[in-house]
Structure 1
């Protein structure tokens, strides 16, 4: 399979793969093609296919996560795609967070995740990959670019600040991410994070929080319209928890 064909298939299915079996099917496609990828010169499409395979392996907590990460990294470096390297640094921050949380043995909900100052320190290094115009390599709306890395940096910084219970700081980070969001999916994620953060700021104050569950359900509809099924599923769960005034929310991130 040619690099552009493989990337098109993996990128399309990555956006809609939510069930474990579907994720395994996408990973199998890349795995079957690995010998061909290995034998040809590095391309942007193969680098991205490996990065997406890494993220899918994360969802299933597979031991192949660092393997796909190394495969993506070597190709990003070979073609000089520095924003791809920045995207992988983000994955390193989330790997550190997972280790701090014993691979989320207590659960992946926001009220169970323990904060990590080390993960925050890694995110700070993403700022070096956000200068315009970058390397100008662009495969699609989800491929690494200065804007995407900048949004990743602020969005995930907001996530880490949120689990550290630094809610005003988290809200500021999500607002920064929203201001530079480079895609409809990116904007939607930031809106969902902002709604969750504002809900958590007010749920313990005794005031009504019905508007936050309603806003989350509206955003869930938008997620379905964009075919972002992972965000839609998380939004459905969180809206239900908000109606119970619970802090047991799920993150809008791969953890």
Structure 2
């Protein structure tokens, strides 16, 4: 099966069967992918408020009913316990497990948040003839913690995480034009150029994902990233939290075109 042209339900079935354990960039072209954060009900309102105050890194696509693993708005036949290739389990802010299925961790008091993902704007960028380096080189996108503090909400606070794609300056301008139309999947870049200006000391050592080569004549372009909730979890230390592993996203039934402002 060609994973780039497969439907989301086809790929989710393969993931559920354990036949796919790979980062999802480039899968199901044309369909939106999502970051996931799952928290106990007593923290859900604070987190929802946090997402509303920090829409660049945390654009909400769906929120589940308490205890339900079904994202009714974006993929009503899916099951969030099984349909992501790789998950991370946090306890008191510490990463304790990385697994391919979370059924045994699921609880009746959990609420799942699905947040827009930058993988969704990569399709339109490729269609416009722009190179996406981590797809070319077949590795996970590099992601970095920054010195940009999110707006606090309730117990939640912490730094914004960004993803980076190296580009020629002219291509960066085109990328800004394309992604500005897609605010539900992070929208326009939050920074272009000098990494140290946003607190990144070594561009070759991402906090998440893998290094991308920046070639002569290219500049780094940074977008707000849905891995931000994981950085927030490390700062806030909730007693329990489930997330996707960075780069291993949930693939929705929503077309990217539905999330674009024309």
Aligning the two structures, in what range does the TM-score lie when normalised by the shorter sequence? Answer: under 0.3
Structure showing greater radius of gyration is 1
TM-score by length of 1: 0.27
Higher relative contact order (CA 8 A, sep 6+): 2
TM-score by length of 2: 0.26
- The structure with the largest helix share of the pair is 1
- The structure with the largest strand share of the pair is 2
